[in-house]
Amino acid sequence: MLMKKIFILLMVGSLLFSCQITDVLNQEPPHNLTPDNAITDEKSAETALTGIYGEQIGYESYMSIGNHAMTAGILQRNDNPGVVVSIYYIENRLPELNLVGAAYTPFWDAFNTIINSSTKLLAVLEGMSDNLFTDGRKTTMMGEIRFLRGWYMFDLLRMFGEYDKLDSKYGMIIRETPPTSDDVYKARSTVQQTYDFILKDIEYAISNAPDFTSSDFASKMAAKALKVKVLFYMGKYSEALEAANTFIGDGERALVAPYSAVFTDFSNQELIYTRGFAGTDEVKYQATRVQAYYNEGKWGPTESFMELVGDDPRKTVILKNGVGDVFGPQQTIRKASNAEGTMPTYLMRYSEIYMMKAECEARTGKGDPLATLNALRSGHGLPAITGVTDILQTIYQEWILEMGFENGHEWYATWRMGVDQLLETNRAVAEKRATAADPELYKANLPYKRIYPIPSSEINANKLMEQNPGNN
């Protein structure tokens, strides 16, 4: 009951993003804590932090990736037996998703809940005496919280902001303190300002978060890895490369062989930050991925992906035999699924650091990107790549084979490498389906489809909120 009261209290700070303005104004100001719901000591603060961690595993977060192109990847096909077969490629799917609030609003709500609950808890902790906590726990707890806020602000930006344009005005709303009745409406910050806010949280976490104990929890190490990723997505490839080299040089993580062990041993040395483990600790959870995505044969690879995977040794980890449809027997996606149908959500693992390092080397001309890729493959017990003529194309393929179908790595790689590959894939669909839309129809506005529109509920609630371009 205590946890429920505390988390309800923290949620007040996020209501601006999920409720109508009138609802917010009817709430007690978030800083007015009553004796019945106040966070008064270390135990109640820990309970509140547990609630924030818990928000990561709900349906409206990373767990529900099956129908979401950005997080599930781009190489998907719907093969649901008993349902009208439809083949989705991203050029066709995103315009549809942009018209259906249920497809993207859960991400907005879930991520903003975490962000604003984190901001509320930080404000409460800052007002509490250090003497109420043991062994500097107040500081390490604040490091955890700022990591979580930074992480989800980053993902919010990647999904709903022009994350790859630092001079864009379409960043996120930034609140250093919880909203009050006098601060209801707030405009979007620029993308650069949003990144500055994220990096500030990351640097605090690097200095103050707990040391690594488990990938279930925020840590200094996870914050260092997130810094690499944020700099990488900002296009600051030299800085990201330096941070990646430092991370690898620290030797805190290790690659795992065989590749399959990454997805069967849930305590392996690859894991940096995850959600969804089963356990007895109250901040650990058992989570089952959407059955429609992994276990029921409803999502499968495209023909172009099957050509790409070929005889790659990772094929048996990524694919399994599926059911038939009107096109005949199909392979389906099984990656990151164990025999019990439960698995963590792999938010950050060591292989991603190597992939970012290789791409940074290719883009800056510093280092040896092929050697980096082969070091990654060697760590998994995979054969080396030889005979490379286009290193960026090779890196793109490795993003798909190494990191695909986890949390959208190949989706973002496609936008960095060029969307023509998506269009080519869609043309293959048109050849099979007479009803398939002409890909040229979407070519003009395709750049707008790399991010989701701001949900209409937020537009209606916040008079200062500006919609993303192409979605008015």
CATH code where residue 150 lies: 1.25.40.390
242-257 mean pLDDT: 97
Q: How confident is the model at residue 349 (pLDDT cuts 50, 70, 90)?
A: very high
Evaluate if residue 291 carries a pLDDT over 70.
no
- Average pLDDT score over the chain: 76
Q: E strands of 230-335, at which residues? A: 271-275, 299-300, 319-325, 328-333
Residue 394 β-bridge partners: none
What pLDDT is attached to residue 76?
57
Q: Would you state the pLDDT for residue 16? A: 35
Of 103-107, 165-169, 171-175, 271-275, which range is least confident?
A: 103-107
Listed range (43-52, 197-206, 425-434) with the worst mean pLDDT: 425-434
Map residue 170 onto helix, strand or coil.
coil
Min mean pLDDT across 250-264, 324-338, 360-374, 403-417 is at 324-338
Q: What is the pLDDT of residue 463?
A: 93
- Whether the per-residue pLDDT at 454 is higher than 50: the answer is yes
Instruction: Give the count of domains, the chain.
Output: 1
Q: What percent of the chain has pLDDT over 70?
A: 64
pTM: 0.84
Whose tokens are 């790399």? That residue is: 450
Return the pLDDT at 322.
57
Q: Is the predicted pLDDT of residue 14 greater than 80, yes or no?
A: no
Confidence of residue 107 (pLDDT cuts 50, 70, 90): confident
Judge residue 470's burial from the number of C-beta atoms within 10 Å of its C-beta, 0-12 exposed, 13-18 middle, 19 or more buried: middle
Instruction: Residue 2: give the domain boundaries.
Output: 1-67+87-210+446-467
- End-to-end Cα spacing for the chain: 43
Stretch among 68-77, 117-126, 359-368 having the lowest mean pLDDT: 68-77
Cβ(253)–Cβ(323) below 8 Å: no
Q: Tell me phi and psi for residue 24, to 5 degrees.
A: -60, -45
The CA distance from 68 to 160, in Å, is: 13
Answer yes or no: is pLDDT of 91 > 60: no
pLDDT in tens, 59-83: 444 544 444 556 666 655 554 444 3
Classify residue 337: in a domain, yes or no.
Answer: no
Asked if 104 and 453 count as a contact pair (C-beta separation under 8 A), the reply is yes
pLDDT for position 421? 56
Q: What's the rounded mean pLDDT across residues 279-303?
A: 43
Dist. CA 234–CA 420, nearest whole Å: 22
pLDDT band at residue 181 under the 50/70/90 scheme: confident
> Cβ neighbours of residue 165 under 8 Å, at least 6 residues apart?
191
More confident position, 302 or 363 = 363
- Whether the per-residue pLDDT at 431 is higher than 80: the answer is no
Q: So what's the pLDDT on residue 86? A: 37
∠ Cα 288 76 434 (to 5°)? 140
> Checking DSSP bridges between strand 271-275 and strand 319-325, what pairing results, if any?
unpaired
Higher pLDDT, 318 or 269: 269
**Which of 15, 8, 11, 9 is CA-nearest to residue 184?**
15
Please tell me the predicted confidence (pLDDT) of residue 342.
54
Inform me whether the pLDDT recorded for 382 exceeds 90.
yes
**Residue 73 belongs to some domain of the structure:** no
pLDDT > 90 in the chain, percent = 47
Please, what's the largest Cα pairwise distance for the chain?
70
User: Within a domain: residue 2?
Assistant: yes
* Position 145 in a domain: yes
Q: Which residue has the higher pLDDT, 192 or 441?
A: 192
Is residue 470 predicted with pLDDT exceeding 80?
no
Within a domain: residue 234?
A: no
pLDDT of residue 446: 59
- Go through 248-259 and write b for each residue having 16 or more CB atoms within 10 A of its CB, e for each that does not: beeebbebbeeb
